[in-house]
Structure 1
């Protein structure tokens, strides 16, 4: 393939289902996932930035299971027109709210009778060939996404939908590639149960084990401990990129990491060269942890009008504006620390 595919899709079962389809048919792909609103714009701009530095001269931006506003569609078309590299734009969707865009732009394909995963599969399988196992998966997604309650795949689709919606263990903002790999793995393993008797029940019974098998490395443990160990490994691998400083102290910044007490303390134990752990959330709150080297209650008081204990504190970053790209989040927090620290 002499071009690079950039696939932006929604964050639910149908959105990831579309990407499972494209991953089957193509090798050179970068995946991005977004909810609606300005997050789509940030992801699109991120794609354009990746294209700018890419060694490929030809690119395809595929958007699935996301309907654009006319303002977004017009903006995206204009940016593609002035790009230095050759870019083909294609959108495959099923939401009726995109009808005006579909009537205006030839690259905007809309069909409300099928879910986006089925539209994507039908589009590419017509070009590159049918695959029975993938088609089965597509029909499961279609049954639940457009709510075909009498379809024999409906109950199985509900379990798959819950599997994706509950897959919060790998943070999408901090680790987008690992998040995609995790959800792809869950959906791939789920398909092993599709031919079982009472497949929806068999899959539902197996989900805990499926998740544990993904995070297990050397030895078995509780799912919570396995997830914490996995996240600590990811944070350790990315600690230089995620490093922040408060005065002479070195810390790491996470976003909506969850389970801060466990992950924070585990990270600091594994990385004694770091002095504190800070997690900021979409609600503007921060949680701070320390292994004793720094009084994080003083940091919380200084930058977030907060407080607490020497090794565990929190506060509110009133000037923080939620974002969808980690680098933007880190830049904001560093500016807040510089101005208040």
Structure 2
């Protein structure tokens, strides 16, 4: 008997291997997947500008990056003893204005190079709900706990999201025409917006992404991975959620990664993944007797394994 409904996922036309260079952008779920890439020692950059949830804000930061539009004093503001920028996450906020601007400029420069060199960009959208700053009339990526009266909450329409997604693809391909872009919708439920409103938001994102990806001139280097659908259909049980009942727990994250690995990671990379995992588990091993002969032999073999992999892949560091 079959007790779940597995989602059929097509094999990727541009699979990821250990020669791939990956840039992951978007909601906090992209960080869950990015941590998997890091654990298995792929060459991966995760959210250089911090977590960003909506298509418009992701497009805006990629536009600044690709076109080298530097941040200026007009782009930042002082609140609660720190300098912030509405276009990036509060993790980048700084108590020093000059340090914030210098940091943002450095990230712009490094991210442009990473996008130019990337074989794959993974973009995860979290929500269609956005906040528009009333004073500037601009959609923000992060409100930085500024009073809500300074913003107007809006739902991006399917057409507005479609335009942003299409622009994002064009921007990336303007500097890297062969880059494969994988889109996915975050399975994290944004219940603060409301139960019906969360579904409305996800529906708009799903409609927008597929409307763009189904256009003939975008099909060659774009793909969709059904993270949201796996969570809703294959893992339709609260035992796959964290304590907040909103975020996927580690079992769910591991399962979604398994489906991703089966369909998007090349077969040639699987042996290396297993080798890396073996090393990672060995590194976390706590010996009963660190000075014993058996443990010293264990450490010697482990060092040999690490040396072999680091020679084969110069970017790997354990």
Tell whether the structures are fold-level matches, with TM greater than 0.5. Answer: no
TM-score (norm 2): 0.29
